[in-house]
Amino acid sequence: MDRKVTVIGAGNVGATAAQRLGEKELCDVVLIDVIEGVPQGKALDLSEAAPIEKHDAHLTGSNGYEDSAGSDIVIITAGVPRKPGMSRDDLISINAGIVKSVTENVVRYSPDCILIIVSNPLDAMCHVAFETSGFSKRRVMGMAGVLDSARFRTFIARELDVSVESTNAFVLGGHGDTMVPLPRYSTVGGIPITELLSRERIDAIVDRTRTGGAEIVSLLKTGSAYYAPASAAVEMAESILKDKKKILPCAAYLEGEYGINGLFVGVPVKLGRNGIEKVIQIALTDEEQAALNASADAVRGLVDLLKKLN
Ligand code: APR
């Protein structure tokens, strides 16, 4: 294939993302991990599924970054996942060190790539990758909003007993308990859910969306969500690889948009061949802006913590 995506971290999210990229025949895929044999084994296993799944994407696994050279996109999932009772923020110091060293290696071999960060705590890890890479803000983004809005859409569809395909959801803010779902911009067949559901039901769905990651962690007990996170990262990669210019909620570096400066926060962006081609701004109510500011403050708190740890 003439497109190449490297996925760093051949764990649950990384391997599932590699599988989806291959099965959608979007690109060749290189899986990289520090554990010897695991990326090679998973890539071979996925390759052996290709004749049945009917695709010709090449999947290879490696412990070295030479194989990632010339990637169009690098998806970073390397890190330690959350355990029950552990917040995303507890992960910060371990994963910051991992994301920093991974980014240094990635940039050496793929200086023109676009970085999609998945490792948590997401917004803070975007800062680490942004500062380490020295890339423009168009080429560093975090996967959070697509996942959060997919969770929101799932719950809306179940509540109304309609196809998930008829739903659209709008989520702003950081990935975590401070995310800001916007019900008035969340629709079913174009109709805002505020016209279809009571305030009480919407609040319940919004709450479940906010704690969607923790809900999966408490069920799995030995790790965190990976099917939906992988799907979300691949949707972003697809929009870039095919230059589709989808409007997707992503963690983007803001310089004044929504009144926020110098922070990665989840906002709707246009994703195309050049990465983040535009941040879409909408007018917020006072209540929504206050919730977004609180979310941005939480991200700033983590970034400050990161600076102290350094
Ligand atoms: N370089 C490359 N790979 C690494 C490194 C490193 N420096 N450090 C750890 N890894 C690998 C691990 O060996 C493991 O295979 O990252 C992989 C992580 O996989 P899992 O433990 O299965 O975690 P996963 O569920 O995939 O989540 C990965 O995404 O959603 C977030 O919070 C989650 O931060 C976590 C990340």
Q: Can you tell me which residue has the tokens 């240094």?
A: 104
Please report the pLDDT score of residue 257 as a whole number.
97
Atom of ligand 1 nearest to the CA of 15: 26
Atom of ligand 1 nearest to the CA of 13: 26
Answer whether 229 contacts ligand 1 (Cβ < 6 A): yes
Answer whether 143 contacts ligand 1 (Cβ < 6 A): no
Answer whether 121 contacts ligand 1 (Cβ < 6 A): no
Please report the pLDDT score of residue 89 as a whole number.
67
Please report the pLDDT score of residue 168 as a whole number.
96
Residue 226 near residue 13, CB atoms below 8 Å: yes
**Does residue 175 carry a catalytic annotation?**
yes
**Of all helices (H) and strands (E), which one includes residue 50?**
helix 38-53
Atom of ligand 1 nearest to the CA of 91: 34
b or e along 40-61 (b: 16 or more beta carbons within 10 Å of the residue's beta carbon)?
bebbeebbeebeeeebebebbb
Q: How far is the CA of 200 from the centre of ligand 1 (A)?
A: 37
Phi first, then psi: what are they for 86, rounded to 5°?
-100, 130
Strand partners, 251: 142, 266
In a mutational test of the pocket of ligand 1, which residue from 7, 8, 16, 33 has the highest number of ligand atoms less than 8 Å from its CB?
A: 33
- Name, in order, each residue with C-beta under 8 angstroms of 52's C-beta and a sequence gap of 6 or more: none
Answer whether 119 contacts ligand 1 (Cβ < 6 A): yes
Answer whether 186 contacts ligand 1 (Cβ < 6 A): no
Q: Can you tell me which residue has the tokens 């942004």?
A: 130
Beta strands in the chain (DSSP E): 4-8, 28-32, 59-62, 73-76, 114-117, 140-142, 167-168, 171-172, 180-181, 187-188, 191-192, 246-255, 261-272, 275-279
89: burial class by Cβ within 10 Å (0-12, 13-18, 19+)? middle
Please report the pLDDT score of residue 24 as a whole number.
98
Amino acid at 207: D
Atom of ligand 1 nearest to the CA of 118: 29
**For residues 34 and 49, what is the distance between their CA atoms, to the nearest angstrom?**
24
Please report the pLDDT score of residue 285 as a whole number.
93
Answer whether 11 contacts ligand 1 (Cβ < 6 A): yes
Please report the pLDDT score of residue 78 as a whole number.
97
**For residues 258 and 299, what is the distance between their CA atoms, to the nearest angstrom?**
15
Residue 172 near residue 285, CB atoms below 8 Å: no
Answer whether 218 contacts ligand 1 (Cβ < 6 A): no
In whole angstroms, how far apart are CA 19 and each of 57, 213, 235, 278?
Answer: 10, 22, 13, 29
In a mutational test of the pocket of ligand 1, which residue from 8, 13, 108 has the highest number of ligand atoms less than 8 Å from its CB?
A: 13
Atom of ligand 1 nearest to the CA of 32: 2
**For residues 264 and 250, what is the distance between their CA atoms, to the nearest angstrom?**
9
Among the listed residues 55, 58, 127, 175, the single catalytic one is 175
Please report the pLDDT score of residue 84 as a whole number.
72
In a mutational test of the pocket of ligand 1, which residue from 80, 104, 143, 217 has the highest number of ligand atoms less than 8 Å from its CB?
A: 80
pLDDT by residue for the chain (310 residues), tens only, comes to 899 999 999 999 999 999 999 999 999 999 999 999 999 999 999 999 999 999 999 999 999 999 999 999 999 999 987 667 767 667 788 899 999 999 999 999 999 999 999 998 899 999 999 999 999 999 999 999 999 999 999 999 999 999 999 999 989 998 767 889 899 999 999 999 999 999 999 999 999 999 999 999 999 988 889 999 999 999 999 999 999 999 999 999 999 999 999 999 999 999 999 999 999 999 999 999 999 999 999 899 989 988 887 6
Q: How far is the CA of 39 from the centre of ligand 1 (A)?
A: 12
Answer whether 103 contacts ligand 1 (Cβ < 6 A): no
